[in-house]
Amino acid sequence: MSNEKKERWMKYSYVISSKVRKKIILALEKKPLTPTQIAEKTEMNLSQVSHNLTDLSDEELIECMNPDQKKGRLYTLLEDGEWVLEKIEE
């Protein structure tokens, strides 16, 4: 197995080992969302969502599209995040 495949499977494992991370990835399936929208959609508290957005961003699964804004930051899936989402839905 190539290193790239191993890395993707490690990211998949990272996401599915947490209900919170999995819910966030699933919430971002259709379009970019703000942390508040994600919290509402997943029925989680905002601080929990924000903490996990940072972790998912560090893992290069999602990214903030407008990091210079203090309010209304939009998060979207990156290529590896889309791959993980696909595997979750299989």
CA–CA gap between residue 9 and residue 69 (Å, rounded): 32
Best CA proximity match to 55, nearest among 27, 22, 29: 22
Residue that has been written with the tokens 């494992």 in this structure: 13
Distances (CA, A) of 87 to 5, 11, 30: 13, 11, 16
Average pLDDT over every residue of 15-34: 97
Domain, as residue range, for 68:
3-89
Average pLDDT over every residue of 26-35: 97
> pTM of the full predicted structure?
0.93
Evaluate whether 53 touches 75 at the Cβ level (below 8 Å): yes
* Rg value, the chain, Cα: 13
The CATH number given to whatever domain includes residue 66 is 1.10.10.10
List, for residues 36-80, the tens digit of each pLDDT value. Answer: 999 999 999 999 999 999 999 999 999 999 999 989 999 999 999
Domain count, the chain: 1
